[in-house]
A = this chain, B = another copy of it.
Amino acid sequence: MPVNLSAPKAQSLLPVKGVQLGFTEANIRKQNRKDVLVIKLIEGTRVAGVFTKNQFCAAPVTLCKEHLASGNEIRALVVNTGNANAGTGEFGLAHAKETCAALADLIGAKSAAQILPFSTGVILEPLPVDRVIAGLPACISNLKEDNWLNAAEAIMTTDIVAKGYSKQISLAGKTVTVTGISKGSGMIHPNMATMLGYIATDAAISQLGLEKLIDYAVNRSFNCITVDGDTSTNDSLILMATGQSGITEVQADSSDYLLLRDAITEVATLLAQAIVRDGEGATKFMTVQVEAGRDIEECRKVAYAISHSPLIKTAFFASDPNLGRILAAIGYAGVDQLDVNAMQLYLGDVLVAEHGGRAEAYREEQGAAVMKEAEILVRVVLNRGEASATVWTCDFSYDYVKINADYRS
């Protein structure tokens, strides 16, 4: 069961003027489930994207990057679940192109390069492109601005609950809406998770501002999560700004930019954390906070060493304060000239280790009490600098194994 996470109510996901969403059941992999989504954007919408750094990136990722770089105005996105169209070679690329061309035709776009394609699901199997394309008219026939919850459901794979958040802010006296959806839930790792994320706003913002903003938001949200350390072939986050709120165009680094940036980062952070909360088999949500390091890089190394350790993750699953495993992970994280005697380890508010060993006042019952919580803070204070980093992760349970052993059956 997801950790302190339930699906959003339909009415809590606010429409974004200029963004319409339509879905269908196209039988991509399973019967009777929404599996193709079209997001149609009003003319003038600006779009920016961040994609997986996996060198085996999927065909749609390659194509998304090309289309965004082409300078064509993006008019629609198409997402299928059930098949990742990854490890599919030149046929995969051809299938993604056919999908874009078909959707461009259907919505009257001039070029297939105005479409961004996305796929998520099983790798190394041919995309059933005919079924994707056959589903597009149905998606278009139910395009609506208030279809965000349906859209969130249509992109799920092993996710248990749909993920979506909205936030409204006031810019120059006008209401600006930010709404986003995401999906996880295994193969979750920075740069980026096996995730798809779509965030839209009706703010108007320059292309430069939009690109700066997506980098800022991703580095504080999707690039701070991990479930299993596997970096997917398909990760994509798309930020869309329709400009339909009626505000003047926000420029990078203006005070309005900062407000908008923080609102979008908040939605991105909630979406990213939701992926961890619904991580495959997750029963606990852990915040791993590493402080007082020499630079962010070493703080992240320590945070990820802790967050990736199967030994630590299984101990959290068992609510076992086996904190020595955390010390071991700190020790092999690869921090240059680490003085293990100078650092401190906290579990929640409890000081667990210092001077290279167990803290004198620490009692196992204190650790056990913290471990029983569903949300746990692990804090490492390196005491050698001013940098810090945070990673969100989950525990490792029987169900993680079950889900991933059974995924294709």
Contact partner of A357 (CB less than 8 A), chosen from B89, B187, B314, B357, is B89
Query: Nearest-CB distance from A358 to chain B (Å)?
Result: 5
Give the residue of B228, B324, B396 whose beta carbon is less than 8 angstroms from that of A124: B324
Report Cα–Cα, A84/B325, bound state, in Å.
11
> Does residue A53 face the partner (Cβ distance < 8 Å to B)?
yes
Question: Which residue of chain B has the shortest Cβ distance to A54 in the bound complex?
Answer: B331
Q: A230-B332, A353-B124 are in contact. Are A324 and B398 (CB under 8 A)?
A: no
Q: Is A2 an interface residue (CB 8 A)?
A: no
What is the copy number of this chain in the assembly? 2
Interface readout for A330-359 with B: 1 if CB under 8 Å, 0 if not? Answer: 111001001011000000000001011110
Interface residues on A, range: 35 or more
In Å, the complex CA distance between A90 and B338 comes to 17
Interface assignment of A288: CB less than 8 Å from any CB of chain B: no
Q: In the complex, what's the smallest C-beta–C-beta distance from A93 to chain B, in angstroms?
A: 9
> Which stretch of A20-28, A199-207, A400-408 is in the interface?
A400-408
Confirm or deny: A123 has a beta carbon within 8 angstroms of a beta carbon on chain B: yes
Q: Are B56 and A328 in contact (CB under 8 A)?
A: yes
- Residues of B close to A126: CB separation below 8 A: 358
Set of chain B residues within 8 Å of A232, measured between Cβ atoms: 328
**Cα(A408)–Cα(B311), bound, Å:** 12
A352 vs chain B, min Cβ distance (A)? 8
Contacts of A311 in B (CB 8 A): 186-187, 228, 230, 404
A269 on the interface (CB 8 Å rule)? no
Given known A318-B405, A357-B89, contact A331–B398 (CB-CB < 8 A): no
What residues of chain B lie closer than 8 Å to A327, measured between beta carbons?
56, 86-87, 123-124, 233
- Bound together, the chains give a CA A408 to CA B400 distance in angstroms of 21
Q: From residue A158, how far is it (CB to closest CB) to chain B in Å?
A: 11
Q: By the criterion CB–CB under 8 Å, are B328 and A187 in contact?
A: yes
Contacts known (A231-B328, A310-B404, A317-B405); A353 close to B87, Cβ less than 8 A:
yes
For A369-408 the 0/1 string (1 means CB < 8 A from B) is 0000000000000000000000000001110111011111
CB nearest neighbor in B for A310: B228
Question: Whole-angstrom distance from the CB of A188 to the nearest CB of chain B?
Answer: 10
A307 to B290, CA, bound (A): 27
Contact B230 A401 (CB under 8 A): no
Cβ–Cβ contact B88 & A358, under 8 A: yes
> Contact check: which of B189, B317, B323, B401 meets A314 at CB < 8 Å?
B401
Which residue from chain B places its CB closest to the CB of A93 in the assembled complex? B356
Quick one: which of A187, A340, A405 has the most chain B CB within 10 A? A405
Knowing A54-B331, A56-B331, say if A405 contacts B90 (CB, 8 Å): no
**CB contact under 8 A between A408 and B88, given known A56-B330, A123-B328:** no
Closest 7 CB pairs of A and B: A123-B324, A56-B331, A89-B357, A124-B324, A318-B405, A314-B404, A231-B332
List 14 A-B residue pairs with CB atoms under 8 Å apart, sorted by A's residue number: A54-B328, A54-B331, A55-B330, A56-B330, A87-B356, A87-B357, A91-B357, A123-B322, A124-B353, A125-B324, A231-B331, A314-B401, A315-B407, A320-B405
